[in-house]
Amino acid sequence: MRIGAIEAGGTKFVCGIGNERGEIEDVISFPTDRPEVTLGKVISYFKDKQVEAIGIGSFGPIDLTPESPTYGYVTTTPKPGWGNYDFLGTLRREFPVPYGWDTDVNAAAFGEATWGAAKGLDSCLYYTVGTGVGIGVYSEGRLVHGLVHPEGGHVLTRRHPDDDFAGICPYHGDCLEGMAAGPAIEARWKMKGHELPPHHPAWEIEAFYIAQSITGAILLNSPKRVILGGGVMQQSQLFPLIRNSVKTNLNGYVSAGEILDHMDEYIVPPGLGQQAGLCGALALGLSALKDQAL
Amino acid sequence: MRIGAIEAGGTKFVCGIGNERGEIEDVISFPTDRPEVTLGKVISYFKDKQVEAIGIGSFGPIDLTPESPTYGYVTTTPKPGWGNYDFLGTLRREFPVPYGWDTDVNAAAFGEATWGAAKGLDSCLYYTVGTGVGIGVYSEGRLVHGLVHPEGGHVLTRRHPDDDFAGICPYHGDCLEGMAAGPAIEARWKMKGHELPPHHPAWEIEAFYIAQSITGAILLNSPKRVILGGGVMQQSQLFPLIRNSVKTNLNGYVSAGEILDHMDEYIVPPGLGQQAGLCGALALGLSALKDQAL
């Protein structure tokens, strides 16, 4: 099989070709520009590739409701040209194949559940902590869309006692993204995350906020695995801090061996590494092809 | 059809007989005692009822994993006699019919999605705010179990600025249940909730905590409806306070008409009223019967 995959980020697009084993055979990447320029490049890339299906994991917000007249659109983004833009339709007109279409983080969750750290499990959460914070939700074998789609990065936070940073989310101030995304780290410490030493108090505070959100998400959704990706999570010292903080928060309340005894295997980095997003898009494309065959 | 329904609460059991239209035709209720006494009464009730299936919505924690050797058990409860008790197996030995088995709050969510306030929708959250706080999660047409099952009532809270109450949850202190369940109201104000006048500042604080949890749950799961039941929610002055607080918290971030323009129809009381739990058990039983027929 030959499946197209598009990881459509707000900063960067990655396109690739892969197969049913999750192997990426070819890849190209370019900065996100206005939609006609960006999708022009996407279309030229896939032009001679003869893909059987295409999967797209997109920045958002996007319309995921199949019955909606704007299904497949990027909706209310302030990104120039992309507001109310028919992303999926533009591609569909060029390549009449089955499409998988979901958020970037849901795609990554699906990729991890298909070939990565949650392989064989019917639920997981995929966090990306980078320029923003996003959470993909896979529950009972299905990606969660609901009314719009998950936007868990904006959950409100309880303050770390040593932290008086106001937060930088234009909507919520001190929500998770406002307190813990890369730009929040930089605004708080006047240094980029990767410039802060691993034993800097920044990381304990960072872990506190991420762990608080994971605690809430475990309590609400009871995921079988929690996967933490994105640029900030390259700071591997965060993992033990986060695991300990989640354990302290839960305080033995959720009586599952995975949490009480095997936290190291429960809160983990992406099994697919930097390819979680692109493999996720591949998995969406593959799934669309299978659905069509039914 | 003739379906048995059991709403198995920690304080009270309700058993009934219903049909495929969600109509309860007969009902009995008694206090929860030790399991052998309580299930003895359940068994005598159903003995001559010739039910085709039985649905159970149970207090927890319970084992919902079909592959588990303790599937159908109540697990780690401190309630005398019920810890590690084979609830489902005890009934199965008496009545060899298909069984639906889930948490009390998941059952209520399913009942509401089948015949109540979320009828026709493929997602909703069902809150009960009473002696404790529980949240049933129905997503993409499925009840969410995951690793164990949702325990969203224990999500950590951000403090109301005028509230210095320590919280009464033995695990987490000031989690949602510790701050907002009926006993927390009583401990904070030295009066039971129903004794507090509708304009007492208690209700604004109560709404603040419930709304905070709803905000987080909307962001994480994007449910199509949020249903608030349980004894505390009989205080109908809470609904507008909660809706306003959720709206303030989200601050326009989730761009959906249901939230921006129709909050009165989005955060609602149970459509099945006090029967949400029992009808939910009925819906579980009905679903088990249908699954068996496949």
What DSSP string runs through A213-269?
HHHHHHHHH--S-EEEESGGGG-TTHHHHHHHHHHHHHTT-S--HHHHT-HHHHEE-
Q: Which two tokens stand for residue A268?
A: 């983990």
Confidence class for position B293, pLDDT limits 50, 70, 90: confident
Residues of chain A found within 8 Å of residue B154, distances taken between Cβ atoms: 219, 253
CB neighbours of residue B72 within 10 Å:
22
> Could you tell me which chain A residue has the CA closest to the CA of B169?
A253
Please, which residues bridge with residue A56 across strands? A6, A101
B253–A150: do the CB atoms touch at under 8 Å?
no
What pLDDT is attached to residue B281? Answer: 98
pLDDT at A168 over 80: yes
- Long-range contacts, A63-72 (Cβ 8 Å, 24+): A64/A101, A64/A102, A64/A103, A64/A145, A64/A148, A64/A149, A65/A145, A72/A99, A72/A101
Residue A153 pLDDT: 97
Chain A CA closest to residue B218: A150
CB within 8 Å: A223 and B171? no
Q: Write the pLDDT tens digit of every residue in A91-117.
A: 999 999 999 999 999 999 999 999 999
pLDDT for B96-123, tens place per residue? 999 999 999 999 999 999 999 999 999 9
Q: Which residue of A has its CA nearest to B134?
A: A220
- Assess whether the region B3-104+274-293 and the region B117-269 belong to the same CATH fold: yes
Q: B204 pLDDT band (50/70/90 cuts)?
A: very high
**Alpha helices, DSSP H, located in chain A:** 35-46, 87-94, 104-115, 176-180, 182-189, 201-221, 238-250, 257-260, 263-266, 276-293
Whether residues A222 and B145 touch (CB distance < 8 A) is answered with yes
Cβ distance A146 to B139 less than 8 Å, yes or no, reads: yes
Average pLDDT rounded to a whole number, residues A184-188: 98
Mean pLDDT of chain A: 97
Residue % of chain A over a pLDDT of 70: 100
Sorted by where each begins, the domain ranges of chain B are 3-104+274-293, 117-269
Maximum C-alpha span of chain A: 57
Tell me: pLDDT of B139 over 80: yes
CA of B220 vs chain A CAs: smallest distance (Å): 4
Residue with tokens 């659109």: A73
Residue type, B132: G
Q: What is the mean pLDDT of residues A244-252?
A: 97
A20: exposed, middle or buried (Cβ count in 10 Å: 0-12, 13-18, 19+): middle
Separation of alpha carbons A130 and A232, rounded Å: 5
Complex ipTM: 0.97
Three-state DSSP class for residue B267: strand
Domain B3-104+274-293: CATH class, spelled out = alpha beta
Over range B37-61, report the average pLDDT.
97
Chain-chain contact of B147 with A224 (C-beta, under 8 angstroms): yes
For residue B293, the tally of other CB atoms under 10 A from its CB is 7
- Integer Cα distance of A204 and A185 in angstroms: 12
Structure-token pair, residue B61: 């924690």
Sign of CA dihedral A105, A106, A107, A110: positive
Q: Average of pLDDT values for B74-98?
A: 96
Cα separation of the two ends of chain B: 17
The DSSP code for B72 is T
A252 in contact with B, Cβ within 8 Å = yes
Residues of A in contact with B219 (CB under 8 A): 150-155
Query: Which residues, 6+ apart, have CB-to-CB distance to B294 below 8 Å?
Result: none
Rounded to a whole number of angstroms, the distance from the CA of A253 to the nearest CA of chain B is 7
Q: Where are the alpha helices (DSSP H) in A47-102?
A: 87-94
A-B contacts at Cβ under 8 angstroms: 156
Q: How far is CA A228 from the centre of its chain?
A: 9
Binned at pLDDT 50, 70 and 90, residue B294 comes out as: confident
Q: Tell me the average pLDDT across B131-142.
A: 97
Q: If you count DSSP H runs as helices and E runs as strands, how many of each does chain A have, helices first? A: 10, 10
Q: What is the mean pLDDT of chain B?
A: 97
Cβ–Cβ contacts within 10 Å for residue B68, how many? 11
Q: Which of B 79-118 lie inside 8 A of A, CB atoms?
A: none
| % of chain B exceeding 90 in pLDDT | 97
- With CB atoms and an 8 Å threshold, state whether B156 touches A212: yes
Q: Decide if B76 and A255 are in contact by the 8 Å CB cutoff.
A: yes
What value does the mean pLDDT take over residues B89-100? Answer: 98
Residue of chain A whose alpha carbon sits nearest to that of B220: A152
For tokens 């707000």, the residue is A10
Residue to substitute from B77, B106, B140, B157, interface A, most A β-carbons within 10 A: B140
Q: Are A146 and B123 a contacting pair, CB within 8 Å?
A: yes
Whether the CB-CB separation of B106 and B123 falls below 8 Å is answered with no
CA distance A277 to chain B (A): 19
The amino acid at residue B62 is I
From A24's Cα to the closest Cα of chain B, the distance in A is: 30
Q: Helix, strand, or coil here: B160?
A: coil
**Does B287 score more than 80 pLDDT?**
yes
pLDDT at A294: 75
Comparing CB atoms, the residue among A76, A148, A254 nearest residue B148 is: A254
The reported pLDDT for the residue numbered B194 is 96
- Give residue for tokens 């719009």: A148
Q: pLDDT at position B217, please?
A: 98
Helix axes A238-250, A201-221, angle to 10 degrees: 50
Q: From B142, which residue of chain A is nearest by alpha-carbon distance?
A: A140
CA distance A47 to chain B (A): 35
Residues of A in contact with B212 (CB under 8 A): 156
Q: Write out the two tokens for B134.
A: 């529980």
Mutate to test the interface with B, among A139, A143, A160, A177 (most CBs of B within 10 A): A139
Q: Would you tell me which CATH number, out of the four given (2.60.40.10, 3.40.50.280, 3.30.420.40, 2.60.40.790), belongs to the domain B117-269?
A: 3.30.420.40
Nearest CA in chain B to A266: B147
Q: Would the pLDDT of B234 be above 90?
A: yes
Question: β-pairing, B53-58 with B133-139?
Answer: unpaired
Buried b (16+ CB within 10 A) or exposed e, A135-144: bbbbbbebbb
Q: How far apart are CA A15 and CA A25, in angstroms?
A: 11
User: What confidence score (pLDDT) does residue B131 get?
Assistant: 94
